[in-house]
């Protein structure tokens, strides 16, 4: 999830563990713990794009990391916090660290909670930024922190925040199931033979869902709003393995295929560049003629060196997506 959401979750967990004893310093420590796992993004400044993807949400998001480093961080905190023991602070840090990857597991990207096992846990039931999850949670936390630390209403407000946010995650799983059935029914009615379906929420909402449908020769992509009145339409994207004949044996290409878990296509842009498209996060907009994907990589040779370059998105891309998103939520 986004940084603000993880800060709120970590702060609320810190409040639940030690708020009664040390007051507003507990959510502060919890917020710090909630941000630590995502510090792995700093490796992106020192690694190539493919390695940075592999590292993100890896070791720092694992149970092993939480168990090993919670006592270390708890010990460091004990130098500044005299009203709580090392064990209490370590327990707070553990829950602040552990709930971070636990929440990430509900997102499309997922997390390697069981690192070093090669298991990416991804329920794909909530977008990485979802105001309906974060804002009620934040409101309850702020109200709780304004209460005296010994107040029972302080704990009630904090538990309300934890309860509402957790309930929203459960609702997301239910809506994922309902939308999956809608995609399944549409494919059957349109007589599309497929091997696998993966569905995920659209940005900022659980009212609109997108699906990737794997077939023998490529992928169908479609979206479904709970306010739709017309059948779901799908667009086909061929895998285009032939475009990558000259680079297919490159190690970075094989790594990208593994990262994408087989949900990828090759394509060429208007400049003739070869692109690797990771389909798991969908297209860059809801325009019917959109061919750009949220995550795509330029593959090219520079002399004898094979390089992978991440295509950066522009603010205009984000504005266009938001406008089309709210139009699409209203139904087709």
Provide the residue-wise pLDDT of the chain in tens; the chain has 332 residues: 889 999 999 999 999 999 999 999 999 999 999 999 999 888 777 788 888 888 888 899 999 999 999 999 999 999 999 999 999 999 999 999 999 999 999 998 899 999 999 899 999 999 999 999 999 999 999 999 999 999 999 999 999 999 999 999 999 999 999 999 999 999 999 999 999 999 999 999 999 999 999 999 999 999 999 999 999 999 999 999 999 999 999 999 999 999 999 999 999 988 889 999 999 999 988 888 888 899 999 999 999 899 999 877 777 777 888 889 999 999 88
| pLDDT tens-place string over residues 92-149 | 999 999 999 999 999 988 999 999 998 999 999 999 999 999 999 999 999 999 999 9
Cα separation, 89 vs 71, whole angstroms: 8
β-bridge mates for residue 302, sequence order: 305
User: Which sign, positive or negative, has the C-alpha torsion 236, 241, 243, 249?
Assistant: positive
Evaluate the omega torsion of the peptide bond into residue 116 and state whether it is cis, within 30 degrees of 0: yes
Cα separation, 56 vs 111, whole angstroms: 9
Q: How many residues does the chain have?
A: 332
> What is the gyration radius of the CA atoms in the chain, in angstroms?
22
> What does pTM read for this prediction?
0.91
- 326 three-state secondary structure: helix
pLDDT of residue 182: 98
């Amino acid at each position: 999830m986004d940084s603000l959401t993880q800060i709120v979750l970590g702060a609320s967990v810190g409040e639940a563990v030690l708020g009664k004893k040390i007051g507003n310093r507990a959510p502060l420590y919890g917020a710090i713990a909630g941000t630590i796992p995502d510090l792995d993004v700093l490796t992106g400044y020192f690694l190539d794009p493919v390695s940075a993807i592999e590292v993100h949400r890896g070791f720092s998001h694992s149970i092993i990391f939480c168990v090993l480093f919670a006592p270390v961080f708890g010990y460091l905190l004990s130098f500044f916090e005299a009203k709580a023991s090392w064990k209490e602070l370590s327990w707070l840090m553990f829950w602040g660290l552990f709930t971070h990857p636990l929440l990430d597991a509900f997102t499309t990207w997922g997390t390697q909670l069981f690192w070093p096992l090669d298991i990416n846990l991804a329920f794909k039931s909530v977008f990485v930024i979802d105001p309906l999850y974060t804002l009620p949670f934040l409101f309850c936390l702020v109200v709780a922190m304004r209460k005296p630390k010994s107040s029972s209403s302080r704990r009630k407000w904090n538990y309300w925040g934890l309860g509402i946010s957790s309930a929203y995650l459960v609702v997301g799983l239910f809506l994922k199931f309902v939308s999956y059935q809608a995609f399944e029914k549409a494919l059957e009615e349109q007589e599309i033979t497929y091997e696998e379906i993966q569905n995920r929420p659209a940005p900022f909402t659980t009212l609109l869902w997108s699906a990737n449908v794997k077939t023998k020769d490529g992928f169908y992509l479609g979206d479904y709003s709970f306010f739709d009145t017309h059948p779901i339409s799908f667009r086909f994207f061929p895998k285009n393995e032939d475009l990558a004949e000259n680079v297919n044996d490159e190690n970075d290409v094989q790594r990208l295929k593994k990262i994408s878990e087989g949900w990828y296509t090759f394509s060429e842009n208007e400049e003739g560049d070869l692109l690797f498209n990771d389909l798991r996060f969908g297209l860059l907009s809801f325009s019917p003629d959109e061919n750009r994907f949220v995550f795509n990589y330029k593959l090219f040779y520079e002399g004898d060196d094979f390089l992978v370059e991440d295509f950066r998105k522009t603010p205009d891309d984000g504005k266009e997506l938001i406008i089309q998103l709210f139009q699409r939520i209203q139904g087709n």
